Amino acid sequence: MTVQKKVAPRGRPVTGKAKSSTERGKELEAALLASGGRILSRVRLSPEAALALATLSERYGSDRGAIEQALIVASKIV
């Protein structure tokens, strides 16, 4: 006679409350807008600006971080 071990289910338990990526994205965007943030999409950059963004992105770790820092610094100069 062999004894079978019960295997614990993998992952998180099913709650029936899972949201789709679209739902999660819409919630995040709504929260950003409610806090005063903005969403920029399909921004076209000149070759010079693209090179500047690539340089800043290396320093700040991402395009988003570079853009945010550049805007914040520039607003303090003006």
pLDDT tens figures, 9-34 = 788 888 888 899 999 999 999 999 99
Give me the count of residues in the chain.
78
Q: What Rg, from alpha-carbon coordinates, does the chain have?
A: 22
- Position 78 scores a pLDDT of 83
Name the band, by pLDDT with cuts 50, 70 and 90, for residue 1.
Answer: low
For the segment 21-78, what is each residue's pLDDT rounded down to a tens digit?
999 999 999 999 999 999 999 999 999 999 999 999 999 999 999 999 999 999 999 8
Q: Closest by alpha carbon to 52, among 37, 73, 77?
A: 73
- Position 22 scores a pLDDT of 96
